Amino acid sequence: MGRADRSIRLFVIAPVLVVAGIILGPLSALSLIFYALAAVMAATSAVGTCPLYLPFGIRTLGRAGRSPSAPTAAGESRR
């Protein structure tokens, strides 16, 4: 997960979800869902990976940050 992706999750999306939960009412069902989503966003940012990205092959780290053992896409050469 790239630096921008991690920062957006941690400093934009998670706080917006928490504030939306507070506005809706701290203990309403929808606010609890928002709190859970905010926790997931913060956790995936801290861990540095998103499990939902794996099946779709999404990488936000970029080519320079890819580890040498990481698989490449079909037809992509490793130089």
Inter-axis angle of helices 29-47 and 14-24, nearest 10: 170
Q: How far apart are CA 11 and CA 48, in angstroms?
A: 14
Residue 13 neighbours by CB distance under 10 Å: 16
The encoded tokens of residue 27 equal 């203990």
Q: Give residue-wise pLDDT tens across range 14-68.
A: 999 999 999 999 889 999 999 999 999 999 999 988 888 888 888 888 766 555 4
Alpha-carbon distance values, 69 to 7, 65, 78 (Å): 25, 12, 11
Tell me which amino acid residue 56 is.
F
The encoded tokens of residue 20 equal 């939306």
pTM of the shown model: 0.71
